[in-house]
């Protein structure tokens, strides 16, 4: 008989997650995640589904009936919104001021839409004037899409103003709120946002791989009037709605990630327990502590204007002559602190520091600033302070 090898549970390092996502997971959410699995059609789970929908309506500040988590990451939420709203030949205006605006444009193009882009400098919010001009020049536009909180640059766009312009021109509004949900003020109904998606691993401090979305009545009307079937079975809202329906006649669609939804439900309970306005204020106040500390170290923010800067994600310019990857590596290897690198044209030029959800705590700011000061203190002072 062969010897049986006893393999213990694999353990991983305990990190302080201060990058652009994922954020640290609240212990209560971890406890919920670790519960024994039950079936995805179990009556107990069905009851939890109804609670999740109600909690999402609170987090999104909406009364939309169709509010539920997509089984997949934030990009799956993006694809669900786009693939249901767009048909081949539809014209869409997409605002690009970072990586995720570019991803929106790419996704719309792959669906056969006519994509008109408006571009702003990375680190700047979407310019409402450019949107107005694009819609005036393209009166047959059906959809406007933008990123509320651009994770690649740390810039916050004025979703309410952009939505007002789009609706005045008769367009539906798709908004990416992956980084803003529960971290920045967000009012789906009051601002007139029609199809909105987010992610569980940012300010909700839940697990990655779950994407809350909410779909309004105007968007549902367009979906119901489609001339062609939705091109993917998995993301077809008409089919998914049958599974998440509150009619008591739920139909099987797919095996939902039960334990991830346990975790999401607990994270949403924590958001409601704290209160949205308190959560928004906490992100703002602790971000101010971080920015003040970074500036004391001689570091400069990518977004100069504090009113246009995300509280939950600070993008910091790397001083000239500094190996930004080496700094990140040293923080991770010696301090167990993770911060993020730049994306696209900002690769090698910035650090992205996240204070999201459970990660947004004063002790994390203090720990990072102390560690960063030590790492930068090993470098020539002239290089650290040069611009």
User: Tokens standing for 120?
Assistant: 């702003």
**What confidence category does residue 387 fall into, taking pLDDT thresholds of 50, 70 and 90?**
very low
Give the closest residue to 18 by CA, choosing from 351, 381, 350.
351
Contact predicate 246/239, CB 8 Å: no
pLDDT per residue as tens digits for the range 132-163: 999 999 999 999 999 999 999 999 999 999 99
**What confidence category does residue 247 fall into, taking pLDDT thresholds of 50, 70 and 90?**
low
Instruction: Write a three-state SS string for 325-367.
Output: HHHHHHHHHHHCEECEECCHHHCCCEEEEECCHHHCCHHHHHH
Strands 143-147 and 91-96: parallel
d(CA 261, CA 244): 13
Q: Is residue 160 part of a domain?
A: yes
Whether the full predicted model's pTM is greater than 0.85, yes or no, is yes
Domain end residue (candidates: 272, 290, 317): 272
d(CA 69, CA 113): 25
d(CA 22, CA 380): 32
Number of structural domains in the chain: 2
- Alpha-carbon separation of residue 286 from 13, 254, 269, 299 (angstroms): 26, 40, 22, 17
Q: Any idea of the CA torsion for 10, 15, 19, 25, to the nearest 10 degrees?
A: 80
Residue with the two structure tokens 């102390």 = 370
Co-location of 298 and 185 in the same domain: no
Q: Is residue 137 part of a domain?
A: yes
pLDDT per residue as tens digits for the range 21-75: 999 999 999 999 999 999 988 888 889 999 999 999 999 999 999 999 999 999 9
Co-location of 231 and 358 in the same domain: no
d(CA 334, CA 74): 31
| CATH code where residue 346 lies | 3.90.1150.10
The boundaries of the domain holding residue 299 are: 275-385
CA 69 to chain centre: 13
Domain end residue (candidates: 238, 272, 306): 272
Q: Is residue 12 part of a domain?
A: no
Three-state DSSP at 123 gives: coil
Strands 195-197 and 210-215: antiparallel
Domain end residue (candidates: 253, 272, 291): 272
Co-location of 145 and 52 in the same domain: yes
Q: Is residue 219 part of a domain?
A: yes
Co-location of 222 and 299 in the same domain: no
Co-location of 133 and 257 in the same domain: yes
| CATH code where residue 256 lies | 3.40.640.10
Residue 383 reports pLDDT greater than 80: no
d(CA 200, CA 213): 11
Co-location of 206 and 293 in the same domain: no
């Amino acid at each position: 008989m062969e010897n049986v090898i006893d393999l213990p549970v694999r353990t991983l390092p305990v990190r302080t997650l201060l990058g652009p996502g994922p954020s640290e997971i609240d212990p209560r959410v971890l406890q919920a995640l670790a519960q024994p699995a039950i079936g995805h059609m179990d009556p107990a789970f069905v009851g939890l589904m109804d609670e999740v929908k109600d909690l999402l309506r609170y987090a999104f500040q909406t009364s939309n009936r169709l509010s539920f988590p997509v089984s997949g990451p934030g990009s799956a939420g993006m694809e669900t919104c786009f693939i249901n709203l767009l048909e081949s030949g539809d014209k869409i205006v997409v605002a690009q001021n970072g990586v995720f605006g570019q991803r929106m444009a790419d996704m719309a193009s792959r669906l056969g839409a006519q994509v008109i882009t408006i571009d702003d400098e990375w680190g700047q919010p979407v310019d409402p004037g450019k949107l107005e001009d694009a819609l005036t020049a393209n009166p047959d536009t059906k959809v406007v899409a933008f990123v509320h909180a651009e994770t690649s640059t740390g810039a916050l766009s004025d979703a309410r103003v952009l939505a007002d312009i789009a609706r005045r021109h008769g367009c539906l509004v798709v908004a990416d709120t992956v980084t803003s949900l529960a971290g920045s003020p967000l009012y789906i109904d009051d601002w007139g946002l029609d199809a909105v998606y987010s992610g569980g691993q940012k300010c909700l401090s839940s697990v990655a791989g779950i994407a809350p979305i909410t779909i309004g009545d105007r968007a549902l009307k367009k979906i119901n009037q489609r001339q062609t079937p939705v091109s993917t079975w998995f993301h077809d809202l008409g089919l998914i709605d049958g599974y998440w329906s509150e009619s008591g006649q739920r139909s099987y669609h797919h095996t939902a990630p039960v334990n991830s939804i346990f975790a999401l439900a607990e994270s949403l309970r924590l958001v409601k327990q704290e209160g949205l306005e308190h959560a928004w204020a906490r992100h703002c106040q602790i971000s101010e502590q971080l920015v003040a500390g970074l500036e004391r170290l001689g570091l400069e923010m990518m977004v100069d204007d504090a009113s246009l800067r995300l509280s939950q994600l600070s993008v910091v310019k790397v001083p000239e002559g500094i190996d930004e990857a080496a700094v990140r590596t040293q923080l991770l290897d010696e301090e167990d602190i993770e911060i993020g690198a730049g994306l696209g044209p900002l690769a090698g030029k910035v650090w992205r520091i996240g204070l999201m959800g459970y990660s947004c705590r004063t002790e994390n700011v203090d720990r990072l600033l102390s560690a960063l000061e030590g790492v930068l203190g090993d470098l020539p002072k002239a290089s650290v302070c040069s611009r």
